[in-house]
Amino acid sequence: MTTSRTIAITGANSGIGLRATAQLAAAGHTVLALCRDQERSSAAISAATDNATNVRVIQTDLSSPASIRSAVAEVKAHGTLDSLINNAAIFDLSQKTAAFTAEGNELFWATNHLGPFELTARLSSLLAAAAQPRIVFIASKGLITMPWLQIRCDQPNSATGYSPTKAYYHSKLAQVMTAVSLAERVPSNVGVSCIRVPAVKLDSARLAAQPALMRALYAPKNAAAATPESLAATYVRAATSAEARDAVYIDENDRAVAAPRTARDSAARDRLWALSEHATGDVEWAW
């Protein structure tokens, strides 16, 4: 697809999202950069992007429904939207006790799952008006290590037995499940994908902000990890591909990969969808 598209991407100020923003802007696309800190994000994007005039930063905190609603109003005021990349996530595994949002949702669940779910629902009518909409979710290759993981729909916000690793992978499993469910709901011109991201080098500022133990744990992983630029290129292909692909869950090379067991269980996906709809105020979807 060579025509210029309008593409919204969350977490556009750092890591893979920042590189995807730079690549999209350089290719002539208009990027709506949905970031939680407007000033810090504008500075990061200007420094990393040759064609920063193609980028508009919109303040968006995915853990806050009010912030999502106000960001959606700004995106709607822009008028068109061809693609949405749900990239942002928190994964600070040093957070040993559960934190909660003002709405009472556990922070990883709110930021990494409920936020993207509500954002996508609220933008779905604008996306549905585009000729070839593309919606991209982001999961983690680490899910391979927990094939039996299930979403505890009865207690997504429980602090009992909390571990940040579990909270993170629940939220990432929910990305695969949401993508598979959404792909079944949309018409054939709408492309829905979920990228299985392998270990990717973290930005030095992000790494430096980690506690010493986390820095030590990350060091060998970071040295062997893929570059954020290479994953950004995968994002760009998913958000701009001319054909809506059949495969929903793909790796960094666009190859179809097996979705986790729970994501293949339609009853489990229906339970997650209903729970997510309820938790985000039953926003109406276009599909």
The structure tokens listed for 103 are: 């709405």
Site string (37-56) toward ligand NAP, x via CB under 6 A: x-------------------
Tell me the window of 8-16, 95-103, 117-125, 255-263 that interacts with ligand NAP (CB under 6 A).
Answer: 8-16
Q: Per CB under 6 A, does 113 bind ligand NAP?
A: no
Residue among 61, 82, 106, 118 that touches ligand NAP (CB under 6 A): 61
Position of minimal CB gap to ligand NAP: 15
Determine contact, residues 279/114, Cβ cutoff 8 Å.
Answer: yes
Please provide the DSSP assignment of 121-162 as one string. HHHHHHHHTSSS-EEEEEEEGGGGG-TT----TT-TT--TT-
| Distances in whole angstroms, Cα of residue 25 to Cα of each of 10, 89, 109, 131, 247 | 15, 22, 30, 20, 26
Note whether 89 binds ligand NAP by CB under 6 A: yes
Give the x-and-dash track for 247-276 against ligand NAP (CB under 6 A).
------------------------------
In the complex with ligand NAP, the residue whose CB is nearer, 4 or 230, is 230
Amino acid sitting at position 264: R
By CB under 6 A, name the one of 140, 262, 276, 280 that touches ligand NAP.
Answer: 140
Phi and psi at residue 186, in whole multiples of 5°?
-85, 155
**In the complex, what is the shortest distance from the CB of residue 129 to ligand NAP, in angstroms, rounded to a whole number?**
25
What is each CA distance from 51 to 74, 125, 238, in whole angstroms?
21, 29, 21
Please select the residue that binds ligand NAP; options are 76, 78, 166, 206, rule is CB under 6 A.
206
Ordered DSSP codes for 185-232: HS-TT-EEEEEEE--BPPPHHHHHTS-HHHHHHHHHHHHHSBPHHHHH
On whether the CB atoms of residues 89 and 111 are closer than 8 A, the answer is yes
> According to CB under 6 A, which one of 6, 10, 21, 54 is a site residue for ligand NAP?
10
| Binding site residues, ligand NAP, CB under 6 A | 10-11, 13-17, 36-37, 60-63, 87-91, 111, 138, 140, 197, 199-200, 202-203, 206, 225, 228
